[in-house]
Amino acid sequence: MTLYLVPTPIGNLKDMTFRAVEVLQSVSLILAEDTRTSGKLLKHYEIETPMQSYHAFNEHRNINQLVQRLQSEEMALITDAGTPGISDPGFLLVRACVEAGIKIESLPGATAFVPALVNSGLPCDRFVFEGFLPTKKGRMKRLQQLVGEKRTMVFYESPFRLVKLLEQLAEVLGPDRLASVSRELTKVYEETQRGTLIELAAYFKKGKVKGEIVVVVKGET
């Protein structure tokens, strides 16, 4: 049978595609990162397909059972927002399905880093997606490895560590390196700020930062 990887809106519910709704209505089970969060989406689109929790803390122990069920059932995997597998659960199940010969279909759709990258004003013909950096051990080591990176760099970060990230990037890459910070993409309070790393750090120090964050940094020139 088939495992469908279905992107879900990163904020604005209108970004759900017709095909995504049809798939979620047709499968026998939806694997959801947080059933409470996904329940709001399914209710909005009148999707009554049963859900099962599938997240970073239970994916290892559930994979064998799910692969066995996928031999005779069709399922969809969704996360709280965006595309499964992109800084969210999904990779382990996809790998197991590939090894078991189970068909996989990945639907196109919402992913936070794409609009942030295109909107940054920085080169987007070649880029490297770093996702979330380690929160503690290995964080500065990873940043040091990016010193000579010529491609545009894309990071995800929590609002609580945004200023710290910008200051660390300024320390490693130089305070005058151009960058862009996007938050609350597709939502009412969507915001993108552009400038040097040190300017952005100073700006976001002024007040409490909210929402999901995408940081885009220009590569070395």
- HSE-CB at 93 with a 13 A cutoff on CA atoms is 34
pTM of the model: 0.92
- What percent of the residues of the chain are helix, what percent strand, and what percent coil, each to the nearest 5? 35, 25, 40
Give exposure, 7-16, as e/b (b: 16+ Cβ within 10 Å). bbbbbeeebb
Say whether domain 113-217 belongs to CATH 3.40.50.2000: no
Give exposure, 68-106, as e/b (b: 16+ Cβ within 10 Å). eebeeebbbbbbbbbbbbbbbbbeebbebbeeeebeeeb
Question: Position 220: which residue type?
Answer: E
Q: Please state the domain extents for the chain.
A: 2-106, 113-217
CATH number for the domain running over 2-106: 3.40.1010.10
Coil, strand or helix: which one is 106? strand
pLDDT, tens digit only, all 221 positions of the chain: 999 999 999 999 999 999 999 999 999 999 999 999 999 999 999 999 999 999 988 888 889 999 999 999 999 999 999 999 999 999 999 999 999 999 999 999 999 999 999 999 999 999 999 999 998 899 999 999 999 999 999 999 999 999 999 999 999 999 999 999 999 999 999 999 999 999 999 999 998 999 999 999 999 99
